[in-house]
Amino acid sequence: MTFYKKLEQHHKKLSKLAHLDAICGWDQAAKMPEGGNEARSEAMAELAVIQHELATAPHLADWFEQAETESLDAGQIASLKEMKRSWQANNLLPADLVEEQSLVGSKCEHAWRTQRTENNWYEFSKNLEKVVELSRKEAQIRAEATGLSRYDALLDLYEPGMTTHELDQLFSEVKGWLPGLIAQIREKQATESVVKPVGPFPVDQQQNLSLEIMNKLGFDFNHGRLDVSVHPFCGGVPTDVRITTRYDEDDFTSALMGVIHETGHARYEQGLPEQWHGLPVGEARSMGIHESQSLFFEMQLSRSEPFIGILAPLACEAFSRQDKTLSTENLTLFNTRVNPGFIRVDADEVTYPAHVILRYEIERDLIEGNIEVADIPQLWDKKMTEYLGLSTKGNYTDGCMQDIHWTDGSFGYFPSYTLGAMYAAQFMAAMRKEMNVENLIRERNLQPIFNWLDRHVWKKASTVSTDQLLIDATGERLNAEYFKNHLIVRYLK
C-alpha cells in the first residue's frame, strides 16, 4: 500500500469520528434533555482528545514525507495538500489545550442559552473570559508556527489566505458607502405601501411550508432533516445533513427565510463530490464559500420577486388564507424591507454587513489583546450607534450576547458572512451571463441554477483555492463591486 493510500485511510477514520461528533453536537443543541449536558460535554471532550491524538500521530510526518515522493495524479496531489494542511493545523495544539477548550466551550455555550434570556452579562462574561484566554493561547501557538498575526492565524482556519489587512481595506470601503445607501433605500421605501402579515401562524403549518420549500430547493430528505434549536444552524455530514430553525408564530417569514438559508448550506454539503468523501479535499473550500451558498439561496434567489411568486401561493395554502398580505407583491416588498435592527440573524441584506464588521472589529482586537471581555458591551454599543444608529446600552440579550459563535471560541468566523454575500453576488452575476435566471424561476425551472452551482462550486470542494474557484467560475478574483451593484439594483432601481 502506498503512503498516500495510508493517509487516505487514516483521514477517513478521522472523518468517521467527526461524523459522530457532528451528530452529538446536533443532538445537544436540538434534542438532548437539560440534565444530559454535563455528561455529554465530557463525552465530547473525550472524543475531541481521541480525534486530536489521531490527527497528530507522530508517524504521520514520515507518511507525508514519503507520499510526497510518490507518483500521484492531479486529484491526489490536491488531496495530499489538503491533508497536510489539516495535519499541520491540528499538530500545533497540545492535547490538554484541545480538551480544555472543548469543556470550557461546551460549558459556556450551554450556560449562554439561559444567561442570554436573563440578560445576565456578568455571569456570561466569566465563562467567556476563560474561552478567550484559551483562544488567545491557540492563536499565539498558531501565529508562532505560521508567521501570521494572532487573529490572522485563527482567520486562516475559516478563510484560508484571507488576512486582516485585506479585510480592513475591504470593510473600510463598505463602511464608506453603506450608511448613505441605507439612508437612500429607507427614504425610497418610506413611500411604498407594505403590510406585515399578521399571525398567528401555527408552528406545524410553518413547518409544513418550510418542508415544501426545502423540497423545491432540492434538499435530499433521504440524507437530512429539519429540526428546532435556539440558534439556527446546519450541521451533520454530507450523507446526513441536520438543519435547524426557530419558529415565531407572529412572523412566519423569519423561520422560513432561515430554513432557506440553512438549505443553501445543506445543498452545498449534499453536493460535495462523493469520490472525496471523508477526506479534507472533499470538504467545503472555506466558510466564506459555504456562506455564499446559503446567501445565494436566501438573498440572491429567494428574496427575488420571481421566487416570491413561487412562495406566496404556497403560503396561502399552508395557512389556509387568501389575503393581500400574502400576495407576491406585498411579500416581495415585506421581504426586502431595510430597517436597522439589533439582531444579526434577523437583519436585512443591506444592514447585515454592519453587524459583521462590528463583530469582526471587536473579536480582532480581543484576540490581539488590545481589549478585554469587560470592554465588549461598551464597544458594542458604540459601534451599533455609529453604524446603525441603535443603542444596546444595558441590553446584552439583543447586543453582545446574541450570538453563539464566541461561546465555543469560534473567533475568525464572522467575516465569512459578508465575504459570503460578496461571493454570492459575484456568482449570480456570472450565472446571468449564461442564462436568464429570472425567467427560469418564473417557469419553476430551478435545476439549471443548481446545476451551475454544482459544477462551479459544489463539486470543486477544496480541490482548488478560493481565489482559483472564483476565477474559474466568474473569470476574476473577489470583486466587491458585484455586491454593491446587487444592492443598488435591487433596492434603488
Same domain (yes/no): 189, 137: no
Same domain (yes/no): 29, 54: yes
Same domain (yes/no): 102, 177: no
Q: 228 has which bridge partners? A: 245
Cα separation, 303 vs 403, in Å, equals: 24
Instruction: Give the pLDDT confidence score for residue 199 in this predicted structure.
Output: 87
Q: Which residues are catalytic?
A: 262
Say if residue 299's pLDDT is above 80: yes
Same domain (yes/no): 245, 112: no
Q: Return all residues near 367 (Cβ < 8 A) that are at least 6 apart.
A: 132, 135, 136, 139, 150, 151, 154, 411, 412
**Structural domain harbouring 73:** 3-158
Q: 236 has which bridge partners? A: 241
Domain total in the chain? 2
First to last CA, the chain: 62
Sign of the C-alpha dihedral computed for residues 445, 330, 181 and 169 taken in this order: negative
pLDDT digits (tens, 9 = 90+) for 364-409: 999 999 999 999 999 999 999 999 999 999 999 999 999 999 999 9
Q: How confident is the model at residue 95 (pLDDT cuts 50, 70, 90)?
A: confident
Same domain (yes/no): 180, 148: no
Over residues 293-311, the mean pLDDT reads: 97
Same domain (yes/no): 149, 273: no
The CATH number given to whatever domain includes residue 386 is: 1.10.1370.30
Same domain (yes/no): 220, 351: yes
pLDDT digits (tens, 9 = 90+) for 324-378: 999 999 999 999 999 999 999 889 999 999 999 999 999 999 999 999 999 999 9
Cα separation, 170 vs 481, in Å, equals: 11
Residue of 180, 92, 97 whose CA lies nearest to 144 = 92
**Among all chains, which residue has been given the C-alpha cell 495544539?**
93
pLDDT digits (tens, 9 = 90+) for 474-485: 999 999 999 999
Cα separation, 152 vs 43, in Å, equals: 31
Q: Return all residues near 79 (Cβ < 8 A) that are at least 6 apart.
A: 4, 8, 276, 279, 280, 281
Same domain (yes/no): 307, 385: yes
pLDDT digits (tens, 9 = 90+) for 440-473: 999 999 999 999 999 999 999 999 999 999 999 9
Q: Which residues of 189-224 are buried (b: 16+ CB within 10 A; e: fewer)?
A: eeeeeeeebeeebeeebbbebbeebbeebbbbeeeb
Same domain (yes/no): 219, 273: yes
Instruction: Give the pLDDT confidence score for residue 170 in this predicted structure.
Output: 92
Same domain (yes/no): 109, 250: no
In this structure, what C-alpha cell is assigned to residue 156?
A: 486562516
Q: How confident is the model at residue 230 (pLDDT cuts 50, 70, 90)?
A: confident
Distances (CA, A) of 337 to 194, 248, 278, 333: 9, 18, 42, 6
Instruction: Give the pLDDT confidence score for residue 418 in this predicted structure.
Output: 96
End of a domain among 123, 158, 193? 158
Same domain (yes/no): 103, 219: no
Same domain (yes/no): 151, 37: yes
End of a domain among 158, 180, 199? 158
End of a domain among 114, 130, 158? 158
